[in-house]
Amino acid sequence: MALAVGAVLLAPGQTGAQEPSAEEQREAVREQGAAVAAEIDVLTAQDAEIQAALTAVQTDVAGQQVVVNQATDTQAAADAAVAASAEEIAALEAETAALNAAIDQMIIDAFLHPPLDHALDAFKADTVADATVKNGLVDIQSDEDAATLERLAEAEEELTVQKADQEVLAAEATQARSEADAALAELDAALAVQTQLATEVEARLNAKLSEADALRASDAALSQQIAAEQAALAAALAASQAQPSGSPSSIQPAPGGLATVSCPAGGSITVAGAIAADVQALLDAASSAGMNMCGGGYRDPAEQIALREAHCGTSYYAIYEMPASQCNPPTARPGTSMHEQGLAIDFTCNGGGALSRSSICFTWLSRNAATYGLFNLPEEPWHWSTNGN
C-alpha cells in the first residue's frame, strides 16, 4: 500500500504519452488518497503506511481547495458580469423612458404648432434677416427632433441586445454557482476523510504512547523507541492538517509619511505624503466643477489585522498567509491593500455614500483622475489608487 501511494505521489513525468492535466492528476491522487484512508487499519499498520496515507489525503484536500478557489473566482466574475449588465440595462431603460417622454412632447408641440404655422411665420417677418433666422430655428428644431428619434431607435436596439446578453450571463452565473457548490461539496468530503483518518491516528498515538509509558520501567530502550516513532508520526499528523503556506504579507510604510488633505465641503482625507498635493488639487478641481468629494484614504494595518482575525482566524497563517478567498467574507491579507500605504481613496460624492457608476462624480473622475495620478479599480467604482489596485 505504501508503494502504491508513493507511486502516485512520486512517479516521474510521463514520456511519449501526453502529460495528464492538473485536474487529472488531482483526480488520481484523490482516488488513491480516499482508497488508502478507507482501507488502512491505523491501529495495526506500519508507521510508514500511515504517514503515506496522511500525505495522500492532504494532497487530496489541497487539490480540492485549488478547485474550490478557481470555481469561487469564476462565480464571482460571473456574478459581477450580471450586475454590470443589470446596471447597463437600467441606464438604457431610463434613457429610453426620457426619450419617449421627449418624443411625446414633440408630438404635442407638432399638434399645437403644425409645421405650416412655422412656415407662415417666415412671411410675417419684418425683414429678410428675421425670416432667415426663423427658418434657421425651424431647421434646428427639425434636426434635433430627428436626432431624438434616431437615438431612441438605437437605445431600444441596444436594450434588446443587452437583455439577450444578460440572459446568457445569468445562465453562465448559474452554471458557475452550481460548479462552485459541487467543488465545495467535494472539498467537504475530502476534509471528512482527512478528519476521520486524523481521529484514528490520534487514537493510535494515545494507545502507543500509553504502551511506551507502561514499558518505561521494564524496557526503557523499547519505551524510548516507541515514543520516538510516535513523535515522528505526530509530526506527520500535524503537517498533514496544516494549510498550504503562501508567501507572508509585507506591510510597507506610506511613502512620504502621512498627510491630511481638506475636503472642500468639510472633512478631510489622510493619504500618503507623496500624493497629498495631487489629491488636494483633484478635490479642488472637482469642487470648481460643482462636485464636492471626500472619502476615506489611509487605513491602519491594525484594522486589517483585526478584520482577518474576525473573518479568517487568529493563527499567524490565518492572519498573514491564508488566501483571501478562503476567508468568510473574503478579506485582503494585511499589507496587500493600497489603503495601508495611503495610496488609495474610497471617494464619496456631495455628502453621499460610496460612488456608483451612475454618479456624476464617477463620470468626472473617469475623465480627470488620471491627470492627478489616480486610477479606478473596475470592480469598485468608489476605489481609486495610484496603480488601479
pLDDT tens digit string along 353-378? 888 899 999 999 999 999 999 999 88
Q: Please determine, for residue 122, whether its predicted confidence score (pLDDT) is greater than 50.
A: no
pLDDT at 210: 62
What proportion of the chain, given as a percentage, has pLDDT over 70?
73
At residue 182 the predicted structure's pLDDT band, cuts being 50, 70 and 90, is confident
Sheet of strand 293-296: strand arrangement: 293-296, 344-349, 380-385, 375-377
Q: Please determine, for residue 123, whether its predicted confidence score (pLDDT) is greater than 50.
A: no
pLDDT in tens, 338-353: 888 899 998 999 998 8
Q: What share of the chain is helix, strand, coil (3-state, %, to 5)?
A: 70, 10, 25
What nine digits make up the cell of 206? 494515545
Read off the pTM: 0.42
Helices (H), 113-127: 115-123
Which domains can be identified in the chain, with CATH numbers?
Answer: 1-11+21-244 (no CATH), 258-299+337-385 (3.30.1380.10)
At residue 262 the predicted structure's pLDDT band, cuts being 50, 70 and 90, is very high
Strands 293-296 and 258-262: unpaired
Alpha carbons 168 and 59: distance in angstroms, whole number: 36
CB 297 within 8 A of CB 339: yes
**Terminal C-alpha separation, the chain:** 49
At residue 242 the predicted structure's pLDDT band, cuts being 50, 70 and 90, is very low
pLDDT at 272: 94
Coil, strand or helix at 175: helix
Q: What is the mean pLDDT of residues 210-218?
A: 64
Alpha carbons 287 and 252: distance in angstroms, whole number: 32
Q: What is the mean pLDDT of residues 131-152?
A: 64
Q: Please determine, for residue 245, whether its predicted confidence score (pLDDT) is greater than 50.
A: no
Secondary structure letter of residue 152 according to DSSP: H
How does the average pLDDT of the chain come out, rounded?
77
At residue 34 the predicted structure's pLDDT band, cuts being 50, 70 and 90, is low
The Cα diameter of the chain in Å comes to 130
Place of cell 429678410: 128
Q: What is the mean pLDDT of residues 274-281?
A: 96
Secondary structure letter of residue 85 according to DSSP: H
Report the 10 Å Cβ neighbour count for 217: 8
Coil, strand or helix at 295: strand
Strands 268-272 and 258-262: antiparallel
What nine digits make up the cell of 225? 523507541
Alpha carbons 192 and 99: distance in angstroms, whole number: 59
Amino acid at 358: S
Q: Please determine, for residue 155, whether its predicted confidence score (pLDDT) is greater than 50.
A: yes
Looking at per-residue pLDDT, the higher value among 24 and 389 belongs to 389
Surface-to-core class of residue 361, CB atoms within 10 Å of its CB (0-12 exposed, 13-18 middle, 19+ buried): buried
Surface-to-core class of residue 116, CB atoms within 10 Å of its CB (0-12 exposed, 13-18 middle, 19+ buried): exposed
Coil, strand or helix at 263: coil
